[in-house]
Structure 1
Amino acid sequence: MALIVQKYGGTSVGTVERIEAVAEKVIKFRQDGHDVVVVVSAMSGETNRLLGLASDVMERPDPRELDVLVSTGEQVTIALLSMALKKRGWDARSYTGGQVRILTDDSHGKARIQSIDGEKMKNDLNEGRVVVVAGFQGVDEAGNITTLGRGGSDTTGVALAAALGADECQIYTDVDGVYTTDPRVVEDARRLEKITFEEMLEMASLGSKVLQIRSVEFAGKYKVPLRVLSSFKEGPGTLITIDNEEDDSMEQPLISGIAFNRDEAKLTLVGVPDIPGVASRILGPVGDKNVEVDMIVQNIGQDGTTDFTFTVHRNEFEKAEEILQQICADLGAREVVGDNKIAKVSIVGVGMRSHAGVASTMFRCLAKENINIQMISTSEIKVSVVIDEKYLELAVRSLHSAFELAESE
């Protein structure tokens, strides 16, 4: 008998009819003799509705109260799914994140899981129950409700699988696996049979919306077998594995996928004194305000000054710009320049390690389309560029073709 943790996203539980369908799917696994723990998101659109209510009341809602509000979406889903299972004669029990003691830090809106008490769930499983847990949420040491950030139900699912020693964690969503890029942008994007944790981690961090980055980190760290599947059609999905060493290296694809992110913004501090420690004096206050910085470029100094550029998530642009204006005054820099109409495009693949010329192929492809590159960042298995947002889809399609990622005939 295997222990399976299944996570169902918002579209998978978007209506009562879909919740009933999830119940049927769960029952099939129980009938096959497997123990099942189910993690669910709020019904599709519900979190946005709750956020809208909050913004109607308060322009910048208090983070603690916002977490109390948005966590209610998952509570509705766990109760309805448990009812649907009970109606079909299968014992089920629902739990909020706090009730199963998913302990997090106190960073409201993007809390991190510190520990999970699995005893209640194990007892229920031993008694033959299906355990249904609210994703996206937990509690801090003081008992305050916290949330893990958008897509946090993926992290809940993988973390529960790790804590319970599950045989597999299955992430059910509205797509039937991980694709070479977003099929809505490139029609002939190909579903990958498997991808490494390392590649998936890069894809998730670079803008692929299939899985939340922390869920992939958890899965890789605790070696939780992870599979992405569709709630709406049968299929093998995509298996996320530790490595591809069992593959013949001759068959190893050069690039596994193209990730992109529209939600980028760029800030430049112009005329910064070119002295030791200046990067820390710029990025320290930004980090202290919990603003995550992505790509960083510092130009070669001229006349004792330099320009310092970094990117942030677009919804933190104004906050970061405000912080940077103060830093500008403190350092005696010339000015702050911002641009929130940029996008990041990245190519990812473990095959890069053993092949030269990947970056030059990418740059040549973009140059052919007259797309200007504003920033470049590289690692062993990825190359990322920042470009003007209006060229994003053209860049993705061109690169997908240049690296021959389409479904073969």
Structure 2
Amino acid sequence: MSLIVQKFGGTSVGSIERIEQVADKVARFKRDGHDLVVVVSAMSGETNRLIGLAHEIQAQPVPREMDVLVSTGEQVTTALLSMALAKRGVSAKSYNGSQVRILTDDAHTKARIREIDDARLHADLDAGNVIVVAGFQGVDENGNITTLGRGGSDTTAVALAAALKAQECQIYTDVDGVYTTDPRVVDGARRLPRITFEEMLEMASMGSKVLQIRAVEFAGKYNVPLRVLHSFQEGPGTLIALEEDDAMETPTIAGIAFNRDEAKLTILGVPDMPGVAHKILGPIGDANIEVDVIVQNIAEDNSTDFTFTVSRGDLPRAEAVLTEVKTQLSAREVRSDSKIAKVSVVGVGMRSHAGVASQMFAALADVGINIQMITTSEIKISVIIEEKFLELAVRALHSSFELDKEPEDESAA
């Protein structure tokens, strides 16, 4: 008998009809002999409704009270699903985060999990119960309700799977797995049967919205196999697990990720001297603005042009900070561009295959796309381009790396 943690997102439990469908699925797994812990989100739209109510009272709601408010959405779903399971003859017990005692730090609205007391869960599982847990929430050491931030139910599920040493953590959503790229952009996008934690982490950080980044980090740290599945369609989904030893059979590129939420800032004519990068990026960091891609060009007159990217929503604040820095450094000019996008090729196979960068650059050149900035890691190459060419770039790269084709089984040769 195996222990499985299942997580159902807001759209999966968005109505009574869908909660009944989820109950049917969970009941089938229970009848097949599995022990089950089910993590649920609030019904779709409920968290936004609650946030809206808070803002009718306060423009900037008190974080502690905001956590108390929004955590109720998941509790509604746990009770309704437990009732639906009981109707099917399945013994079920609902828990909120504090009842499980998912202990977090005290950073309200963005708390991080410290530990989980799994004693009560084990006792209920041993008694034959299906455990239904409210995702996205926990409790600090003073007994205050905390929440884990948007998408935190994924993290709850992975953390419970790690604590309980579950065989697998299944994330049910409105897609049937992880694809080589967004099927809405490329008709030939293909579902991946398997992807590594590293690849999924890169895909998530580069713009893929299938899983929350923190959940993937947690799963990789504790080696919790993750499987992404469609809530209401049958299929194997995509398994996210450790990299296997058979690197010879690993496709060079797993997928193409992209992100439209990018903006670029350049400060021109900065004196080329030690510490100048810190003088530019230090104030940006102090303003709690995250920087992504960085490029520095040195001119013959001993000055430098310094360019970096931020999320588009942070552009006005970053531009204001950089204008002050320009004055302090006697720089020539500050320029900004919000019409850019980032495209990335991701794959652990890059470690053992040369020529990926040249193939990527050639594919973009063939369709007339200019590259503005480049950044790399061991398993990823990202480029900044004009946003209007984004979909063309994704299609060109997907075709160049033949991601629409099933990889050949080299072991059968």
1:103, distance to aligned residue in structure 2 (A): 2.5
Could you tell me whether the CA contact under 8 Å between 1:103 and 1:138 is conserved in 2? Answer: yes
- Of 292, 295, 319 in structure 2, the residue corresponding to residue 294 of structure 1 is 292
Indicate whether 1:95 and 2:101 are aligned: no
CA deviation profile, 1:224-267 (whole Å, cap 9, x unmatched): 111111111111111112113236x1x43221100111222222
2 CA distance for matches of 1:281 and 1:315?
A: 23
Counterpart for residue 255 of structure 2? 257
Query: Match for residue 16 of structure 2?
Result: 16
Task: Report the Cα offset of residue 62 of structure 1.
Answer: 4.8
Aligned partner of residue 98 in structure 1, secondary structure = helix
Rate the CA distance shift 1:33–1:266 in 2: closer, same or farther, 3 A.
same
When residues 252 and 138 of structure 1 are mapped into structure 2, their CA distance, relative to the original with a 3 A threshold, is same
Match of 2:271 in 1: 273
Map residues 303-322 of structure 1 onto 2, 5 A cutoff. Answer: 303-322=301-320
Determine what percentage of the aligned residue pairs are the same residue. 72
Query: Secondary structure at 1:178's aligned position in 2?
Result: coil
TM-score, structure 1 length as denominator? 0.91
- Return the match for 1:344 from 342, 346, 354: 342
Q: For 2:60 and 2:229, how far apart are their aligned partners in 1? A: 36
* RMSD over aligned Cα atoms: 2.3
8 Å CA contact 1:189–1:407 kept in 2: the answer is no
Q: How many residues align?
A: 407
Residues 1:114 and 2:114 are matched in the alignment: yes
- The reply to whether residue 200 of structure 1 matches residue 179 of structure 2 is no
1:385: which partner in 2? 383
Q: Which one is further off, 51-60 or 387-396?
A: 51-60
Other structure's SS at 2:115 match? strand
- Paired letter, 1:315: G
- Measured at CA, do residues 287 and 147 of structure 1 come closer, stay the same or move farther in structure 2, by a change above 3 Å? farther
Query: Which whole-Å CA distance do the structure 1 matches of 2:222 and 2:244 have between them?
Result: 18
| Aligned residue in 1 for 2:219 | 219
The residue that corresponds to 1:184 in the other structure is 184
Structure 1 pair 275–75 and aligned structure 2 pair: CA distance change class (3 A): farther
Q: CA deviation at 1:138?
A: 2.4
Stretches of structure 2 that go unaligned for 5 or more consecutive residues are 408-413
Query: Secondary structure at 2:199's aligned position in 1?
Result: helix
Distance in 2 (CA, whole Å) between partners of 1:407 and 1:33 is 37
Q: Could you tell me how far apart the structure 2 residues matched to 1:314 and 1:401 are?
A: 29
Once the two structures are superposed, the pairs formed by residues 108-187 of structure 1 within 5 Å of their partners are: 108-187=108-187
Q: Which residue of 2 aligns with 1:229?
A: 229
Give the one of 380, 389, 403 matched to 2:401.
403
When normalised by structure 2's length, the TM-score is: 0.91
User: Helix, strand or coil: the match of 1:294?
Assistant: coil
* Distance in structure 2 (CA, Å) of the matches to 1:119 and 1:294: 42
Counterpart amino acid of residue 286 in structure 1: I
Matching residue of 1:71: 71
Distance 1:64 1:321, change over 3 A: farther
Residue 18 (structure 1) shift: 0.8
Q: Distance in 2 between matches of 1:333 and 1:99?
A: 57
Structure 1 unaligned blocks of 5 or more: none
Secondary structure of 2:258 counterpart: strand
Question: Structure 1 residue 52: deviation in Å?
Answer: 4.0
2:30 counterpart of 1:25: no
Question: Match for 2:102: what amino acid?
Answer: I
* Secondary structure in 2 matching 1:33: coil
Sort the Cα spacing of 1:323 and 1:366 in 2 relative to 1 into closer, same or farther, 3 A.
same
Aligned CA distance change for structure 1 residues 93 and 326 (closer, same or farther; 3 Å)? farther
User: C-alpha separation between the residues in 1 aligned to 2:313 and 2:58?
Assistant: 17
User: In 2, Cα distance between the equivalents of 1:6 and 1:290?
Assistant: 35
Report the counterpart of residue 373 of structure 2 in structure 1.
375
Change (3 A) 1:310 1:49: farther
What is the identity, as a one-letter code, of the residue corresponding to 2:360? M
